[in-house]
């Protein structure tokens, strides 16, 4: 084990902060996680994670990354009844993206899987694992204040923390800001004379409402139902099986479309685009607790990797770097992939940690960003620049989704890319391109013909 320093401090005890602490624990004598909230002992929601009351998925790449960081985690989740989706069996899902419903006719041999724990359940299990690390301390109920630096401001040396009416300075060799998209790091950097990172934003104005349900056994063969927005309908829904035989039901509206909060009105809201048997299951469901509502204004990427100067002893992590439209379920997975990149950077060298990490993290962040922004800009209701690359890419993805309606192999390729398991370029592989072209040609080819009374041919196309 390559020891780099004495103490690392992580600001923020949500999923990103916990995974960063796990990576750091291999390289620092002690790691202290500072969290403003008093953390629950079990799988309970808390104020600091308002999005935790909504559907969450641990995508395949994120699941494998977390299991690498916390060996045995996936086995533990499975033993505790957390549902998982083996995408090779398409009968276990109903997926509709961009107005295209994936086919279910074939079974494809593929080992990658998505896990469907509730956010609070998964976070409690990860937090328990982190607490077991002998050199990690979670300091909850403490807010983080100003950073301390050397006189020349070239290195961050610690952070002021306070709780219970007292304040003190935690000295640190490395401070990691993992306080989410609202982190004040850009303003802090500007105050230290480094300027602010470039930022990209795409306004999506997503509102989503969720509730936990119990659905009578046997009503659904699927474990996951997703119907995404499509051009002309900036609304969608998701229904995920969770632990303890419960289901999380989420309805979404984009660009000022407000979903209702009453369950009966909610079902009516999604009925026109949701499979009839799923609607029937929702009408038979028993609500477990109150509805949760959350708003998400815009996707945001702070390009720390482009900064020419950055203080030593400081990193930014997780949603504090980039946060995506939550309907694509990428956040936890990207955080896990970032944690692996951080571990690789620390293993290689202790010089220019920030620069090397930001450049490495830009790979998984960029893949997720490209997918999310492209999907959002496929909706004419979303305002934003659409350069030729985005237009061409979206046109091709629409043809990929068309092929996925009938070709499960294409559907699997798309799911591997959207799960951040494979790079986006894999959708352009010649074998995939050939299948996409063939499927789209079959769709356009006349399937039946008949001769009308005047003797002309009348064609009905699919």
Q: Where in the chain are the domains?
A: 5-49+119-200+298-374, 90-110+201-297, 388-444
The pLDDT assigned to 88 comes to: 63
| Range name among 196-205, 250-259, 276-285 with the lowest pLDDT average | 250-259
Mean pLDDT of the chain: 90
What does the pLDDT look like over 199-229, one tens digit per residue?
999 999 999 999 999 999 999 999 999 999 9
The pLDDT assigned to 50 comes to: 66
The pLDDT assigned to 454 comes to: 40
Nearest to 239 by CA among 217, 214, 260: 214
What is the pLDDT averaged over residues 288-301? 92
Place of tokens 């899902």: 93
The pLDDT assigned to 210 comes to: 93
The fold for domain 5-49+119-200+298-374 equals: FAD/NAD(P)-binding domain (3.50.50)
What tokens does 163 get?
């709780």
What is the pLDDT averaged over residues 137-148? 93
Is residue 285 within 8 A of residue 245, CB to CB? The reply is: no
pLDDT for 91 beyond 80 = no
Nearest to 251 by CA among 222, 202, 291: 291
Is residue 323 within 8 A of residue 331, CB to CB? The reply is: yes
More confident: 66 or 349:
66
Task: Domain 90-110+201-297: give its CATH architecture.
Answer: 2-Layer Sandwich (3.30)
pLDDT for 177 beyond 80 = yes
pLDDT for 256 beyond 90 = no
What is the pLDDT averaged over residues 424-440? 94
Q: Which residues contact 418 (CB under 8 A, 6 or more apart)?
A: 328, 371
Tell me 58's DSSP state. Answer: B
pLDDT for 311 beyond 80 = yes
What is the pLDDT averaged over residues 383-406? 94
The 3 state secondary structure assigned to the chain is CCCCEEEEEEECCCHHHHHHHHHHCCCEEEEEEEECCCCCCCCCCCCCCHHHHCCCCECHHHHHHHHHHCCCHHHHHHHCCCCEEECCEHHHEEEEECCEECCCCCECCCCCEEECCCHHHHHHHHHHHHHCCCCEEEEECCEEEEEEECCCCCEEEEEEEEECCEEEEEECCEEEECCCCCCCHHHHHHHCCCCCCEEEEEEEEEEEEEEEEECCCCCCCCCEEEECCECCECEEEEEEEEHHHEEEEEEEECCCCCCCCCHHHHHHHHHCCCCHHHHHHHHCCEEEEEEEEEEEEEEEEEEHHHCCCCCECEEECHHHCEECCHHHCCHHHHHHHHHHHHHHHHHHCCCCHHHHHHHHHHHHHHHHHHHHHHHHHCCCCCCCCCCHHHHHHHHHHHHHHHHHCCCHHHHHHHHHHHCCCCCHHHHHCHHHHHHHHHHHHHHHCCCEEEECCCCCEEEECC
The pLDDT assigned to 346 comes to: 94
pLDDT grade, residue 40 (50/70/90)? confident
pLDDT for 363 beyond 50 = yes
């Amino acid at each position: 084990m390559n020891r780099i320093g004495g103490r690392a401090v992580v600001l923020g005890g949500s999923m990103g902060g916990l995974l960063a602490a796990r990576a750091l624990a291999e390289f620092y004598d002690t790691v202290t996680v500072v969290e403003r909230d008093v953390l629950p002992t079990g799988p309970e929601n808390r104020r600091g994670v308002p999005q935790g009351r909504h559907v969450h998925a641990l995508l395949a790449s994120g699941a494998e990354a977390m299991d690498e960081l916390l060996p045995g985690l996936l086995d533990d989740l499975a033993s505790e009844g957390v549902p998982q989706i083996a995408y090779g069996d398409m009968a276990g899902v109903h997926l509709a993206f961009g107005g295209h419903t994936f086919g279910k006719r074939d079974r494809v041999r593929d080992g990658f899987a998505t896990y469907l724990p509730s956010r609070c359940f998964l976070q409690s299990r990860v937090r328990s694992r982190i607490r077991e690390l002998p050199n990690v301390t979670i300091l909850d109920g403490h807010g983080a204040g100003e950073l301390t630096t050397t006189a020349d401001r070239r290195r961050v040396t610690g952070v002021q923390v306070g709780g219970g009416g007292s304040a003190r300075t935690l000295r640190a060799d490395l401070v990691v800001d993992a306080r989410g998209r609202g982190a004040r790091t850009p303003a802090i950097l500007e105050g230290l004379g480094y300027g602010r990172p470039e930022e990209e934003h795409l306004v999506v104005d997503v509102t989503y409402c969720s509730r936990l349900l119990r659905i009578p056994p046997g009503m659904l063969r699927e474990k996951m139902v997703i119907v995404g927005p499509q051009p002309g309908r900036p609304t969608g829904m998701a229904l995920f099986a969770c632990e303890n035989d419960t289901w999380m039901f989420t309805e979404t509206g984009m660009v000022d479309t407000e979903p209702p909060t009453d369950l009966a009105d909610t079902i009516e809201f999604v009925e026109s685009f949701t499979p009839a048997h799923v609607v029937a299951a929702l009408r038979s469901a028993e609500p477990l607790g109150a509805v949760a509502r959350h708003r998400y204004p815009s996707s945001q990427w702070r390009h720390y990797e482009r900064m020419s100067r950055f203080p030593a002893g400081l990193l930014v992590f997780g949603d504090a770097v980039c946060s995506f439209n939550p309907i694509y379920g990428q956040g936890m997975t990207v955080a896990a992939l970032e944690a692996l990149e951080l571990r690789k950077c620390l293993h290689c060298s202790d010089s220019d940690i920030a620069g090397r990490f930001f450049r490495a993290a830009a790979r998984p962040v960029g893949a997720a960003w490209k997918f999310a922004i492209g999907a959002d800009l496929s909706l004419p209701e979303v305002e934003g620049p659409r350069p030729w690359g985005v237009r061409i890419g979206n046109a091709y993805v629409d043809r990929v989704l068309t092929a996925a309606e009938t070709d499960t192999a294409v559907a699997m390729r798309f799911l591997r890319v959207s799960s951040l398991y494979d790079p986006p370029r894999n959708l352009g592989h010649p074998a995939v391109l050939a299948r996409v072209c063939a499927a789209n040609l079959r769709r356009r080819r006349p399937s039946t013909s008949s001769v009308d009374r005047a003797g002309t041919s009348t064609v009905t196309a699919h």
